Amino acid sequence: MSLDFAATTPLTATEEARRQIEICNACRYCEGFCSVFPAMTRSKAFADGDLTHLSNLCHNCRGCHYACQYTAPHEFDLNIPAALAEVRQDSWERLARPQALARMFHERGVAMAGLLVVALTLFFALIAAARPTGARGSAPTWRTI
């Protein structure tokens, strides 16, 4: 595949990640940066499941991006953290269960996080209210024989 073809035809997130990972695998300059690179060097061709696995190993620290000699303005235009973040996002949307909650969290993430905080607060308040009080809840007394 020539670079001109890649520039004119938009690639899916998985195809773009595969292109970038294959270039990185040939270079191997960033081999010791994180757990993505040792896992990446175990194969030369990457299936969609392999890319999902690699994307979930990436913590988006961007250390490889800053050290890479093939980032923009180079014609390869590599940005492994961004490409893997796209694949990771796609996999979370596809694999999260139940789908209705996954879709709601993607569309209204801040509201869902706020709802989770309120639910946990109510849960802990109910636990505190249900705690026994009085003599039964006090410390045990010891008898001497």
- pLDDT tens readout for residues 82-126: 999 999 988 888 888 888 877 887 788 899 899 999 999 999 999
CA-based torsion, 12, 6, 82, 57: positive or negative: positive
User: Can you say whether residue 95 is alpha, beta or left, with left for phi > 0 and alpha for psi between -120 and 50 degrees?
Assistant: alpha
Which pLDDT score, from 0 to 100, does residue 30 have?
Answer: 82
Which pLDDT score, from 0 to 100, does residue 76 have?
Answer: 93
Greater pLDDT, 41 or 65? 65
Which pLDDT score, from 0 to 100, does residue 37 have?
Answer: 87
Which pLDDT score, from 0 to 100, does residue 114 have?
Answer: 94
8, 53, 75, 95, 144 from 48: Cα distances, Å: 23, 9, 25, 13, 71
Which pLDDT score, from 0 to 100, does residue 38 have?
Answer: 86
Instruction: Please give the DSSP secondary-structure letter assigned to residue 16.
Output: H
Which pLDDT score, from 0 to 100, does residue 110 have?
Answer: 92
- Alpha-carbon distance of 82 to 47, in angstroms, equals 19
What amino acid is encoded at 130 in this protein?
A
Per-residue model confidence as pLDDT tens digits over 8-52: 678 899 999 999 999 998 988 888 888 888 888 888 889 999 999
Q: Which of 23, 41, 21 is nearest to 32 (CA)?
A: 41
